[in-house]
A and B are shown apart, each in its own frame.
Chain A
Amino acid sequence: MKLVVVSAGLSVPSSTRLLADRLAAAAAPAATAPEPAPAEVRVIELRDLAVEIAHTFTNGFPAPALADAFAEVAAADGLIVVTPVFSASYSGLFKSFFDALGVTDADALAGKPVLIAATGGTARHSLVLDHALRPLFAYLKAVVVPTGVYAASEDWGADGLDARIERAATELAALMSGPAGSPTRRPLPKRDSFEEVTPFAERLAALGVPGPSPAP
């Protein structure tokens, strides 16, 4: 079981990373319970990949470290994604990571359980989860857990954040470990990838075109 955390925090240390770590610490053991070993956690710090993310747009392909991160995301059984709020939305870097991912694999998140979370200086921005992050991940065909977690500065010294983290992590864990037949656990068919190409005769037949002519 593999849990991948995408954190778009910029400062070191960052409250975005802090929230990401809290969520991962709660979700990793829950995803594999009652097994004693928790899910393997890999954290992707977008700050480290910022230049490679930009170059994906100018080049059309991801550089090696970013390609590794994309492979981790593609192989994840579940994702925790956390962004600071910038200008009333997710940060540009956060969005760009998922845009660049789409350049290489438009369906990378299809059917994948995703826990959305955000941090901000004030609780006034908390609806960013439902007005910005949830539609983005719905568009990417992810299965977004019902509870998102928003942490304003004041939440780090108040009651309530623990319970929201616990609840969201439990929901993510349930989707990650769900029955094999559930939508999030079923590998999607990958037509026209390197693994599975539509036989050419099928393509011709779909157009109503006969195959190549016999020799004259």
Chain B
Amino acid sequence: MQFGIFTVGDVTPDPTTGRTPTERERIKAMVAIALKAEEVGLDVFATGEHHNPPFVPSSPTTMLGYVAARTERLVLSTSTTLITTNDPVKIAEDFAMLQHLADGRVDLMMGRGNTGPVYPWFGKDIREGINLAVENYNLLHRLWREDVVNWEGKFRTPLQGFTSTPRPLDGVAPFVWHGSIRSPEIAEQAAYYGDGFFHNNIFWPADHTKRMVELYRARYAHYGHGTPEQAIVGLGGQVFMRKNSQDAVREFRPYFDNAPVYGHGPSLEDFTAQTPLTVGSPQQVIEKTLAFRDYAGDYQRQLFLMDHAGLPLKTVLEQLDLLGEEVVPVLREEFAKNRPADVPDAPTHASLLAARKDAPAEEGVHA
């Protein structure tokens, strides 16, 4: 099982000091957080993609390429890559390039974004959001698997005799996750291709996540990729820890109360009761995270949101120390217990390459 972090990349004032980091500070902090993730033994760093203030990460492969050069093991991913408003040709090129530079330590997560005006800013119609995700991803899927593509669709100019370069590393397309909080259509899309499905899992009650994951698992089996239990599931999570749980609550409360998404809404206590947010000791984080398996089944990837709402870099790095030293080693051990042998790990470049060598005829379906 993989453990990692995902970042939104928001530039938010620290509510305890009123200070807002500069964009440069925030971007450098994101890099420092990624490097720390590798240092403390995490497996994955994923960055969001946004095209409006107060967010900085508009150019994920630039950042991930820089992180790739400074890390050895970390898998570089996104949370999410906008399959709706980006040109699928550019996504194919950018991520194949990143794959070569990072020696295959790359996957990505498709999403539709959460900011309405991004669609018109990029010349798209938000009412076509699902259709854009469907058509664009279908093209992206082909561009990584066919050397020469002839293509015509509804949303972009046709392609005749087009070859996306560089070709994917070793001829193996990056593994793709599809992220959605509330659209069954996207769970269906992930299942159809045999791709991974990621539920952000942090803003909604667990029963909602459960229904999305169950739908994806059932449809994954329906399309013949394996049993429902073998489907590739990722979950988000959000935690704030101190050795003493009361210290965690006291320190995190002003950040929670002013957080961009849920601030000025419910109390910290209500929100932790109703959603997967955990604010407390490392042991409490372990217990709550292990319980995700009760509703999502044995899964492949757990990403934590650690660096939002104006938390200072120093605090985030301390959080990552706790995560890497006290939480993830226990989670690895506990999640491995009673895990059926036929539940796969999250696909990596190495595993996809090996699978293709074993069964070349199936590569197009499973990769």
**A-to-B contact residues, CB < 8 Å:** 54-55, 58-61, 63-64, 192-194, 197-201, 203-204, 206-209, 212-216
Tell whether, in the assembled complex, residue B204 and residue A61 are in contact, meaning their CB atoms are under 8 Å apart: yes
Confirm or deny: B274 has a beta carbon within 8 angstroms of a beta carbon on chain A: yes
Query: Contacts A207-B134, A213-B146; is A59 near B184 (CB within 8 Å)?
Result: no
Confirm or deny: B120 has a beta carbon within 8 angstroms of a beta carbon on chain A: no
Chain A residues lying within 8 Å of B193, measured Cβ to Cβ, are: 212
Chain A residues lying within 8 Å of B362, measured Cβ to Cβ, are: 215
Query: Contacts A61-B203, A61-B204, A63-B270; is A200 near B265 (CB within 8 Å)?
Result: no
What is the distance, in angstroms, from A54's C-beta to the closest C-beta of chain B?
8
Confirm or deny: B215 has a beta carbon within 8 angstroms of a beta carbon on chain A: yes
Chain B residues lying within 8 Å of A61, measured Cβ to Cβ, are: 203-205, 208, 274
What is the distance, in angstroms, from B171's C-beta to the closest C-beta of chain A?
7
Chain A residues lying within 8 Å of B185, measured Cβ to Cβ, are: 192, 197-198, 203
Look across to chain A and name the residue whose beta carbon is closest to the beta carbon of B149: A213
Tell whether, in the assembled complex, residue A212 and residue B153 are in contact, meaning their CB atoms are under 8 Å apart: no
CA distance A198 to B205 in the complex (A): 25
Tell whether, in the assembled complex, residue B364 and residue A216 are in contact, meaning their CB atoms are under 8 Å apart: yes
Query: Contacts A58-B266, A198-B188, A203-B134; is A213 near B364 (CB within 8 Å)?
Result: yes
B143-155 interface code vs A (CB 8 A; 1 in, 0 out): 0011100000110
What is the distance, in angstroms, from A57's C-beta to the closest C-beta of chain B?
8
CA distance A203 to B154 in the complex (A): 13
* Interface size class of chain B, counting residues whose CB lies under 8 Å from the partner chain: 35 or more
Confirm or deny: B138 has a beta carbon within 8 angstroms of a beta carbon on chain A: yes
Max count, chain A CB within 10 A of own CB: residue among B146, B262, B264, B266 = B266
Chain B residues lying within 8 Å of A59, measured Cβ to Cβ, are: 203, 262, 265-266, 271
Tell whether, in the assembled complex, residue A209 and residue B204 are in contact, meaning their CB atoms are under 8 Å apart: no
Chain A residues lying within 8 Å of B265, measured Cβ to Cβ, are: 54-55, 58-59
CA distance A200 to B225 in the complex (A): 15
Chain B residues lying within 8 Å of A63, measured Cβ to Cβ, are: 266, 270, 274
Chosen A-B contacts, 17 in total, with CB atoms closer than 8 Å, are A55-B265, A58-B262, A58-B264, A59-B262, A59-B266, A61-B208, A64-B274, A192-B184, A199-B188, A207-B154, A208-B153, A209-B135, A212-B193, A213-B141, A215-B362, A216-B147, A216-B171
Residues of B198-220 contacting chain A, CB below 8 A: 203-205, 208, 211-212, 215, 219
B329-367 interface code vs A (CB 8 A; 1 in, 0 out): 000000000000000000000000000000011111100
CA distance A175 to B265 in the complex (A): 40
Look across to chain A and name the residue whose beta carbon is closest to the beta carbon of B274: A63
CA distance A198 to B146 in the complex (A): 27
Tell whether, in the assembled complex, residue B364 and residue A209 are in contact, meaning their CB atoms are under 8 Å apart: no
Max count, chain A CB within 10 A of own CB: residue among B142, B171, B264, B274 = B274
Look across to chain B and name the residue whose beta carbon is closest to the beta carbon of A58: B265
Chain A residues lying within 8 Å of B271, measured Cβ to Cβ, are: 59
Tell whether, in the assembled complex, residue B184 and residue A215 are in contact, meaning their CB atoms are under 8 Å apart: no
Max count, chain A CB within 10 A of own CB: residue among B187, B219, B263, B265 = B265
Confirm or deny: B189 has a beta carbon within 8 angstroms of a beta carbon on chain A: yes
Max count, chain B CB within 10 A of own CB: residue among A58, A192, A201, A213 = A213
Confirm or deny: B20 has a beta carbon within 8 angstroms of a beta carbon on chain A: no
Tell whether, in the assembled complex, residue B189 and residue A207 are in contact, meaning their CB atoms are under 8 Å apart: no
Confirm or deny: B59 has a beta carbon within 8 angstroms of a beta carbon on chain A: no
Chain A residues lying within 8 Å of B274, measured Cβ to Cβ, are: 61, 63-64
A-B interface, 5 closest residue pairs, ranked by CB to CB distance from nearest: A58-B265, A215-B364, A200-B192, A197-B188, A55-B266
Known: A59-B262, A204-B134, A212-B364; 19 extra A-B contacts, CB below 8 A, are A55-B270, A61-B204, A61-B208, A192-B183, A194-B212, A197-B184, A197-B187, A200-B192, A201-B192, A203-B130, A203-B134, A203-B188, A207-B134, A209-B134, A209-B135, A212-B141, A212-B193, A215-B364, A216-B147
Tell whether, in the assembled complex, residue B138 and residue A215 are in contact, meaning their CB atoms are under 8 Å apart: no
CA distance A52 to B27 in the complex (A): 37
Residues of B259-296 contacting chain A, CB below 8 A: 262-266, 270-271, 274
Confirm or deny: B22 has a beta carbon within 8 angstroms of a beta carbon on chain A: no
Tell whether, in the assembled complex, residue B154 and residue A208 are in contact, meaning their CB atoms are under 8 Å apart: yes
What is the distance, in angstroms, from B175's C-beta to the closest C-beta of chain A?
15
Contact of A207 among B135, B184, B192, B360 (CB under 8 A): B135
CA distance A34 to B94 in the complex (A): 71
Tell whether, in the assembled complex, residue B361 and residue A215 are in contact, meaning their CB atoms are under 8 Å apart: yes
What is the distance, in angstroms, from B362's C-beta to the closest C-beta of chain A?
7
CA distance A209 to B193 in the complex (A): 14
Chain A residues lying within 8 Å of B131, measured Cβ to Cβ, are: 203, 206-207
Tell whether, in the assembled complex, residue A212 and residue B365 are in contact, meaning their CB atoms are under 8 Å apart: yes
Look across to chain B and name the residue whose beta carbon is closest to the beta carbon of A210: B138
Chain A residues lying within 8 Å of B153, measured Cβ to Cβ, are: 207-209
What is the distance, in angstroms, from B154's C-beta to the closest C-beta of chain A?
6
CA distance A61 to B361 in the complex (A): 44
Contact of B215 among A55, A194, A212 (CB under 8 A): A194
Chain A residues lying within 8 Å of B191, measured Cβ to Cβ, are: 200
